[in-house]
Amino acid sequence: MKQISFTAVLIISVIVIFNDTGISQEKPDGFLIKTSFPENPIVSIKNDEYNPDAEFIEKKYVTSQNTAQNKNPLNKATFDIDAFQTIVHNGNELYIGNCIVTERTGSTAGTIWAVAGVRSSSSTDDWLGIFKFGQSGWTLQTAVFTLQYLSYSIDAELIEKDTGEKTLWIVVEARQTFNAKREVYYAGINLANFFEKATGKLSWPGAGPQDNYYNARITTDNFDFPDNPKIFIVASLDSITSTNKHVYAQKFAFITSPHDLANMQINYRTNILPVYWPDGGTTENHYLYSDIAYYNISGGLGQARLIFTYSNVPDDTKIWLSRSTAFGNNAQFIGTIEGNGNYRINTSAIASTGGGLSQQLMVVFEENYQNSGDWDIVSARSNDAGSSWYLNYIDGYPSNTDKLPRLGSVVSRKGVEDEYYVSYSSDKPGGFIDSIMSIKSNSGTTNYWDQKVRMDGIYSITSDYSSVGITNTPDERVTVWSSEAGGSNFKLIGSFWPTFPSAVDDETDGNVDSYQLYQNYPNPFNPTTRIEYRVASSEYVTLKVYDLLGREVATLVNDEMDAGKYSVEFDASDLATGVYLYRLIAGNFVSNKKMILIK
């Protein structure tokens, strides 16, 4: 592995104020022009000096945005619990953060991977687990890192080459001891064998002894460049000065050859990104939420762009935006998103289509309505790479009478506009977590978000943190969150909606040319269906049906069988609507499939 640092020449930019009074000007079409960036004197802007060897990026200190639609009057109690729930993992450990990626190419397209942080009961060996969803449900494939203090902040991306190689990349925040500073660790893992790994700690040049790196986020240009992709990483920086003042900023790095784990190369931008807060005070302690998204103007590498977001900074009524080339050059401040008023903004996240000549961006954030303690989930969509923004409420129900929503994550389907998925938790007043919700966007101009779906059900909710991912079918999603069944019995739950996905077959032992379990027909069914299977030699055979909790609900075959092909009818008259798994065991051959009962 190689490490390279690069320095962008910095100049203090002149802040352009287009309206000396700082008053917003309203256009006839209803768009609100924000004309005084930045307004808060505690923020500083250091744009990169123009580099003729890098693609020029136009400076933008003016963006426009419209106000959000009326707050959603619907009570979540009206939503049905339609999700199909599975147990990803359970034990006596607390699950403290997670994220989801889905394969989109090759014979394994549709395979879902969940990365989760696990806090050990011993508090000395937290670990990061990678779980795969297949026909037999979720299985732990491998564990990476053993860190004493693992954070909730986990992010991942999947690199898929045209040749079929697939590499999972993860960034996570952790500390090695309780009083140690926060640091960002990375892991690249070959999904074909799990033994080929690249792991380590991101080490920016010039880091000081009290520099804390945290809340790392990751993205990629893999959709546009499958043969020569890159990984891009942003991390928040809290640098404590000699006078104990906090300086809040962002650091950037990118990885070349991320599919070649033995020769991948980490490239560090030495300087901070353009927007920073040099005097965060000695008593304040802000958690800077950073995120990163990739888009491409015309398809070429020189037209590739990265956009960075900052929120929950000393001026916490805005989301600040900066942009650079794919190599971190020509970084410029480009404006802010101010929500629906001078209201506090906490957590934020950004997603894009990941390329495909689209300049659409989606920012989702928590906003404190009228600074009254009524927190809402709001979205800001841009179709022109951040020049203008269209705001919508995702969850605007008054939380002082119902719930306090907490943003989980936002993802998109690569190369597809207007298909974004968001997860969030809803807390009752008093801090009790009430539900896990998910929602999907559409191409509508008035009601941009579809109906919310409640993803929790029979399990209680342990953590505010949830993450959302997609299946290989449009409109389908999976949400992962943690549950506590009581005492130290913790579970990591995966909830699918609107249907249970058609997972990629797991590998099985035995001669698959001679042994076979076939998909039931019809499927979905009500109330009977037929299952066929084949055995190669005389074997003791069992064919059983299970619910998604792993409980056996029927035994269809339990006998010695000669070689041949067999068929058996399954009658589910006494079972409830839902997804069931059936498993064939014949000697060393094991195979699982799913079926859907709809009454």
DSSP SS3 for 572: coil
DSSP SS3 for 10: strand
DSSP SS3 for 78: helix
| In contact, 291 and 322? CB cutoff 8 Å | no
DSSP SS3 for 400: coil
Question: Mean pLDDT per segment of 10 residues, for the chain of length 599 residues?
Answer: 50 26 25 37 71 49 49 41 77 86 87 90 78 82 84 94 91 84 94 90 89 96 92 94 84 95 94 85 78 85 87 88 91 87 91 90 92 88 89 78 79 92 81 80 81 76 84 86 69 83 51 69 84 87 86 92 88 89 83 82
Residue 485: per-residue pLDDT: 57
User: What architecture is domain 76-497?
Assistant: 6 Propeller (2.120)
Residue 472: per-residue pLDDT: 79
Which structure tokens are listed for 188? 């690249």
Locus of tokens 């004197």: 41
Torsion, Cα of 202, 179, 147, 158 (10° steps) = -40
* Rounded Cα–Cα distance for residues 386 and 58 (Å): 12
| In contact, 364 and 382? CB cutoff 8 Å | no
| In contact, 89 and 70? CB cutoff 8 Å | no
Q: How many CA atoms lie within 13 A of 218 on its CB side?
A: 28
Exposure string of 348-387, with b = 16+ CB inside 10 Å and e = fewer, is bbbbbbbbbebbbbbbbbbbbbeeeebbbbbbbbbeebbe
| In contact, 100 and 501? CB cutoff 8 Å | no
User: Please, what's the largest Cα pairwise distance for the chain?
Assistant: 89
Residue 249: per-residue pLDDT: 93
Locus of tokens 């974004």: 420
Residue 78: per-residue pLDDT: 39
* Rounded Cα–Cα distance for residues 9 and 47 (Å): 9
User: What architecture is domain 516-597?
Assistant: Sandwich (2.60)
Residue 445: per-residue pLDDT: 67
Give me the long-range contacts of 195-203 (CB less than 8 A, separation at least 24): 196/261, 196/262, 197/144, 197/261, 198/1, 198/261, 198/262, 198/264, 199/144, 199/145, 200/1, 202/171, 202/233, 202/235, 202/253, 202/266, 202/268, 203/3, 203/268
* Domain boundaries, given as residue ranges, for the chain: 76-497, 516-597
**pTM of the entire structure?**
0.78
Q: Residue 446: how many CB atoms within 10 A of its CB?
A: 6
Closest Cα partner for 422 from 499, 479, 337, 358? 479
Backbone φ and ψ for 473, nearest 5 degrees, come out as -115, 130
